[in-house]
Amino acid sequence: MATSLLYTVIQTGNTVSWRNTGGDELFTPTSLGSGAGRQGALHDFTTAAVGRTFEFRGWIKPGATRVEKEAVAMILKSSDGTHADNDDGTGDIAVSNINKLLNVRRIGQILIDENAAVEMVFSRIITLGHRHAGPIFWNYTANTLSTTATDYGVDMTPVVLEAQ
């Protein structure tokens, strides 16, 4: 009896990106202060037959002052289109209070791994259970993050199984 193999395919042509400019959705965590958060606009992944597993990749360049092992949280806000994980809206907006993170999905963090203004990346395979989603960064470091708009971003790339 022949066996059919399933291969994991990363659909790079279907990546959804969050950027200050030039992305699919707006996300502006520029100059994010210590103890503050920023939410990117929610993206509509539709109700069509699409994969719900994604490669999540978020990156930052820290600001001028850095302390190793401090963290920037990577969080995913979701919504069914009616009921969102918090009530801070659906667009690119400041998180109004740290308590607004109590009911959202923390998926990881970027640890400041050296005292240099270099790109630091967090990536993970995640499953999205709802139609709408967007990233949130929360700055747990003692310092303001970079003032440069291109020093931040998030990509979500579909990962699907394909029968061979």
pLDDT tens track for 65-87: 899 999 999 999 999 999 999 99
- Mean pLDDT estimate for the chain: 92
Indicate the DSSP class of residue 90.
S
Strands (E), 12-139: 16-19, 25-26, 36-39, 43-44, 53-60, 71-79, 93-94, 105-111, 120-127, 132-139
Does residue 1 belong to any structural domain of this protein? no
Helix, strand, coil content of the chain in percent (nearest 5): 5, 45, 50
CB atoms within 10 A of CB 126: 19
Indicate whether 63 pLDDT > 80. yes
Does residue 57 belong to any structural domain of this protein? yes
pLDDT tens track for 1-41: 677 788 888 888 899 999 999 999 999 999 999 999 999 99
Percent of the chain's residues with pLDDT above 70: 97
**Element (DSSP H or E) covering residue 155:** strand 152-163
pLDDT recorded at residue 46: 85
- Tally the domains of the chain: 1
Q: How far apart are CA 16 and CA 25, in angstroms?
A: 8
Indicate whether 158 pLDDT > 80. yes
Does residue 26 belong to any structural domain of this protein? yes
Does residue 85 belong to any structural domain of this protein? yes
- pTM summary value: 0.91
Q: How far apart are CA 26 and CA 41, in angstroms?
A: 6
Full domain range(s) for residue 58: 6-163
Does residue 97 belong to any structural domain of this protein? yes
Q: Residue length, the chain? A: 164
Within a 13 Å sphere around the CA of 18, how many CA atoms are in the beta-carbon half? 31
Strands 93-94 and 53-60: unpaired
